[in-house]
Each structure stands twice: as C-alpha cells, then as structure tokens.
Amino acid sequence: MQSELDKVLSELYTSNKKLAEQLLERQVISANQLEKLLGDEQLPLGQLLVEEKLIFQYELKKALLEQQFSGRRLGEILVDQQAISAEQLEKILRKQAWQLEQISLNNSHYLLSVLFGELTL
C-alpha cells in the first residue's frame, strides 16, 4: 500500500492536475462524492473581515447590498467606502488564500485516505 501511495503522490507532484482531477479520471471517486467531500469551502472575505474586527457586521451588510447592485468586488467596495484600507484588504486576501490552501491540503489528505480504503464515503 505504501508504494501505491508513493506512486500517487509522485504523480500528484509531477502532474499539472489536482488530486481531485486525478481521482475523478481514475474513477476512484464520483463527482457527487467529491462535491460532498469538498463542500462549500470558500472562506468569505466579509466573514474574515468581521472575525478580524476590521469591519462591523452592518458595514459588511451595506457593502454586500452595494455589491448586488454594482457587481463590483467586495474588497473594492469596502476600500471605496473607507471601511478598510487597501493595505488591510491585501493582508486579509493573503490570509484568505493561505486558509484556502490549507483546506485544499487537508482535503487532499482525506481524498488519499479514501483512495486507499482507510475511510469510506
């Protein structure tokens, strides 16, 4: 089993394809199972800003309302409204990207365990 794991990891690192794509191609997991595993993992920018105490909930609601009408990006709206600075936006976007990377890594480990039958769906 370890050699299989090493082979898959080697292919993952040498391929331009993500692990999920490789598992779908090998028909190890279905698209529905993958969606169930990954769920809605997007970390909302507004929620991060509120959690970091950079904005208040009412500022987020106001910006989200404007976003619905304008179609502009939330961060851009908040900077224009002077709720946050461009520097704060850049910092929180970096944090958001890092968190998404961690989620992706955790899901990859979980998918590998599913691949090798250690867990069942």
- pLDDT tens-digit map of 33-70: 666 665 545 578 898 899 899 999 999 999 999 999 99
Own/partner pairs, 107-114, CB within 8 angstroms, 24+ separation:
107/20, 107/37, 107/38, 107/41, 108/12, 108/19, 108/20, 110/37, 111/19, 111/20, 111/23, 111/29, 111/34, 111/37, 112/5, 112/8, 112/9, 112/19, 114/28, 114/29, 114/37
Confidence band, pLDDT 50/70/90 cuts, at residue 86: very high
At 77 the pLDDT is: 95
Residue ranges of domains in the chain: 2-115
